[in-house]
Amino acid sequence: MTTALIVAMTKSRVIGKGNSMPWHLPDDLKLFKAKTSGHIIAMGRKTYESIGRPLPNRENFVISRSAESIEGCRVFHSAAECIEAAKDYDKKLFFIGGGQIYAEAVSFVDEMHISYVKNEFDGDTYFPDFDLNEWEVAETVDHEDFTYVRYIRKSG
């Protein structure tokens, strides 16, 4: 099973403001849908609440210390529990946010799908620092408002 994270961020690593994304990029949303459809998405409770519903054509996992159940989702108390449960599926597991989830996931995922937003935005939530030396660029696609880069963790 492959684990991945998918995120849109500015060059200064802004990923959110006030529990939402400070930009609206339809092509990035299409990319997100194309990459995650048919797979498992795992998110924190605040990210789930900002979306407001389970996303269709995906298994929706929510990581929460407090929630016991959320209609249409499986609730877990840690990323490790999500990974264990995902082994029962023949699907990729995508961590989709927010900041605390990314801070944990960046240390162990196999892939990172990052859309680098070309404009700068103010924000209050940031993607964690990571060492690019641990990653190999597998794919780069330039779009009008963002550049998509898929990284694969280097082995050994």
Is residue 13 within 8 Å of 112, Cβ to Cβ? no
Tokens standing for residue 76: 């877990």
Write out pLDDT tens, residues 30-48: 999 999 999 999 999 999 9
Confidence of residue 66 (pLDDT cuts 50, 70, 90): confident
Task: Write down the pLDDT at residue 68.
Answer: 82
List residues bridging with 42 in a β-sheet: 61, 95
φ, ψ of residue 61 in degrees (nearest 5): -110, 135
What's the domain range around 20? Answer: 3-153
φ, ψ of residue 30 in degrees (nearest 5): -65, -40
Task: Write down the pLDDT at residue 67.
Answer: 75
Is residue 117 within 8 Å of 146, Cβ to Cβ? yes
What number is the average pLDDT over the span 118-143?
A: 97
Q: Within 10 A of 101 (CB to CB), how many other CB atoms are there?
A: 22
Write out pLDDT tens, residues 111-122: 999 999 999 999
- In degrees, rounded to 5, the angle at the alpha carbon of residue 105 between the alpha carbons of residues 92 and 35 is 35
> Looking at the predicted structure, is the pLDDT value of residue 13 above 80?
yes
- Tally the domains of the chain: 1
Pairing of the two strands 125-126 and 135-142:
unpaired
* CATH number of the domain that residue 14 is part of: 3.40.430.10
